[in-house]
Each structure stands twice: as structure tokens, then as C-alpha cells.
Amino acid sequence: MELLTTNNVWMMICTALVFFMHLGFAFLEIGLTRQKNTINILFKNIFIITIGLLLYCLVGFNLMYPGFADGDIGLFGFAGFGLDAPLTDAGALDLAYNEGYTYWTDFLFQGMFAATAATIVSGAVAERMKIGPFMVFTILYVGLIYPIAGSWKWGGGFLQTLETPFYDFAGSTLVHSVGGWAALVAVCLLGSRIGKFKDGKLQAIPGHNIPLATAGVIILWLGWFGFNGGSVLSADPGLTSLTLVTTCLAAASGGVIAALVSFIKYKNMDLTMFLNGILGGLVGITAGADQMSPTDAIIIGAVAGAIIVFAVSLIDRLKLDDPVGAIAVHLVCGIWGTLAVGIFGELASGSQFVSQLIGVASYAGICIISSFLIIFVMKKTVGIRVSEREELEGLDAHEHGMDAYPDFRLNEH
């Protein structure tokens, strides 16, 4: 009982840290976008957290952990609506549910992960997507697609039953690329913001509060202690401390290398690239944080940091408009981190690398198809983009009738 209590307390602390990450996402998004869209972004982030938890309670948890039967192909399962806690014969909560944590802690920890996928999309579509269609997308993607896809690995589905099981410790693919693929699809269907590309040339649209964006990244880094540290699923001192070390080292090397490569390429010290490099390192290490040595973590983070610079440049050349760099950070670095499990660390092998490729391809398939269907149908029916006037004057005024900074109004277009 004492061990269970220790493990459970650690898991609850990690749950709180992952919850705190949503503030980091919100700060990062509003900092890297314009003042006139602040309320819209905050509204979306709050909606994602609240509806995400409710949906995960009603259907998501039992879609993600359906208890696949022996011989089941492991593609889809559903254990029923709502939460039905395992009880002892005496009717009390079964504390033997798991040696690391209770049933309720399990649900809440996993529920905090669920909302993250839609938060990634929120940043990529900022400043031009209608709030209603975004809310519909969030309900369908977080409520159905994320948990079904998650069941393929974490729920004991077909990726877990491969001869060499696909490995994703804390979600480089299951969380980050699930959001990243949807962000890519959404950006393609939405088009770029007015003024982003003039006569085919890229025009910078600076964010209105870089100090706030910086605070968001620091909060996210802190939250990753829970994101990766909690994914140990116990308070095991050796494995937990190693995971936190590899997580921090990858973040640090990602930031430093992104800043360095950006300076060499553009001849300026770009803080936003530095910040996204840190996030890229964090996303990259997440798939194998418990399997890597400190040196491996530094290399993985460094590669992720370099990838960020070139991925952002490629996305711009393709005339895709991602205001916060979500696709480069969460999709590209998520893929890199997932494949890195087959190259570095204790699991490195040819067969593991092949399994990692299968996993990446499987999630690409379900995410691209599902997000395209959801967003394309809405584009052809209700429309997904605000009018030109609404975009120029700001979504805060037109979608919400509010101003984030009423005493400091700027006439910006």
C-alpha cells in the first residue's frame, strides 16, 4: 500500500504538470500571433481542455483502452460509455487495479494527454479559422480519432502485437504527430493569412508578445517533466530520474542547435527559432526518453533543433502558413523522435526501426484521412474560414465581441 501511495502521488503530480502545459500552449500561441486574435485563441484552448476531458470520460478512455480480446486484430474496440471503475467484491475501489496508480489517476493522466492533439491544431490555424467549425473538429478528433489511434499502441492494439512492437514511450507519434498531421491538413485546406504571401514572396507577420511566448515555452518545458516523467507510470527512482535528465538535455541541445543553425542560415539571433528548437527537442525525445543515454538525448535533441530551422523554411517555401511553427515542431520532430528509437538507445535495431516506420505510416494514414474528411466536409458546407473583413479587423471583435487589451487598442490590419 505504501508503494502504491508513493507511485500514485507522483502520477497525480505529473497529471497536474501536464494540465499546466495547456497554459504554456495558450501563452505560446497568443504570443506568436496578433493582438486582435488573442481572445479567440484563449477561447479555443479553454474549450479544448473542457470538452476534451468530458469526451474522454464519456467515450475516449474506453475507446483507447478497450481490452482487446486474444486474436482480435487490434484496430477498434469499445468498452462502453462512461467510467466504470473496477470494484472489489466489497464494492470498494479496487486498489489492485495497477501497482503504479489507481483507476482514477489513470483516467485523469491519460485525459490530460488527449486534449493536446487539438491544441497543436489550434496554433496552426490561428487567426483565420471560424470558431464553430474548429469546435466541431475538436469534438470529433479528440473524442473519436485520438483514442482509436491511441488504442493501436497504448491500448494493446496491432502495433503493440507486432513481432517487434512499435515503441512510443510518451507520444512523439501518438500525441504530437497525431496533432501535427491534422494541423498540416487544416493549413492546406484553409490557406494562408491575408498578407502572409505578397506577389509570391514571404512576408513576416510578427507576434504581438514575444515575452509571453517565451514564458509559454518555459511552462511547456516544466510541464514535460510530467508528460515524460509520468509516462514511467510509477515513481521508480532510477527510470524517472533518467527520463527527466534525457528530456532536459534534448530540450537544451534542441534550442542551442536551432539558434546556431538559424544564425548561420539567416545571420540573426532569432529568439522564436530558439524557442521552437527547445520544443522540437522535447518532442523528439518523447518517444524514447526512458531508453536513451544522456549522450543519445543530446544528439536526438540537436538533430531536432536543426530540423526545426529547415522544416520552417520548407513550410514557408510551400506557401503554407503556420503562425506558431506547430507542423515543424510536432509533426516533423515527432516523426524524427519516433524513428530515433530504432537508431539510438537500448532498443536500437533494424527490426525496431522497421516497426517505427510502420507506426509512423499507420498514424499518418488515419490522421490524414480522418482530419481531411472532417475539415473538407465543413469547408464545403458551413465554411471554415472567416471573411476578409473579419480577418483584417480581428476574430476577437467579430467572433467574441471582446478585446483582450481594451485599454491598449492598436489599429492593426
List the chain domain ranges.
2-75+89-400
User: Which pLDDT belongs to residue 173?
Assistant: 98
Residues composing the chain: 413
How would residue 226 be classed by pLDDT, with cut points 50, 70 and 90? very high
Note whether 323 and 196 are within 8 A (CB): no
User: Which pLDDT belongs to residue 199?
Assistant: 83
User: Which pLDDT belongs to residue 311?
Assistant: 98
Among 21, 161, 53, 76, residue whose Cα is nearest residue 370: 76
- The per-residue pLDDT for range 379-391, each reduced to its tens digit, is 999 999 999 999 9
What single letter denotes the amino acid at residue 127?
E
- The per-residue pLDDT for range 56-105, each reduced to its tens digit, is 999 999 999 998 988 789 999 998 999 877 665 555 566 656 767 888 89
Whether the per-residue pLDDT at 286 is higher than 90: the answer is yes
User: Which pLDDT belongs to residue 3?
Assistant: 78
Among 363, 368, 371, 369, residue whose Cα is nearest residue 174: 363
H-state helical runs in 128-236: 131-140, 146-151, 178-190, 210-229
Sign (positive or negative) of CA dihedral 374, 380, 385, 386: negative
User: Which pLDDT belongs to residue 324?
Assistant: 96
Whether the per-residue pLDDT at 411 is higher than 60: the answer is no
Q: What share of the chain has pLDDT > 70, as a percent?
A: 95
The answer for residues whose C-beta is within 8 angstroms of residue 384's C-beta and 6 or more apart is 129, 130, 133, 189, 190, 375, 378
- The per-residue pLDDT for range 124-169, each reduced to its tens digit, is 999 999 999 999 999 999 999 999 999 999 999 999 999 999 999 9
Please state the CATH superfamily assignment of the domain spanning residues 2-75+89-400 in this structure. Answer: Ammonium transporter AmtB like domains (1.10.3430.10)
User: Which pLDDT belongs to residue 9?
Assistant: 94
How would residue 2 be classed by pLDDT, with cut points 50, 70 and 90? confident
What single letter denotes the amino acid at residue 31?
G
Angle of helix 38-55 versus helix 131-140 axis, rounded to 10: 20
Mean pLDDT rounded to a whole number for the chain: 94
Whether the per-residue pLDDT at 222 is higher than 70: the answer is yes
Among 237, 30, 11, 225, residue whose Cα is nearest residue 103: 11
User: Which pLDDT belongs to residue 91?
Assistant: 53
User: Which pLDDT belongs to residue 361?
Assistant: 98
Q: What share of the chain has pLDDT > 90, as a percent?
A: 86
Higher-scoring residue by pLDDT: 191, 2:
191
Whether the per-residue pLDDT at 1 is higher than 70: the answer is no
Whether the per-residue pLDDT at 281 is higher than 60: the answer is yes
User: Which pLDDT belongs to residue 32?
Assistant: 97
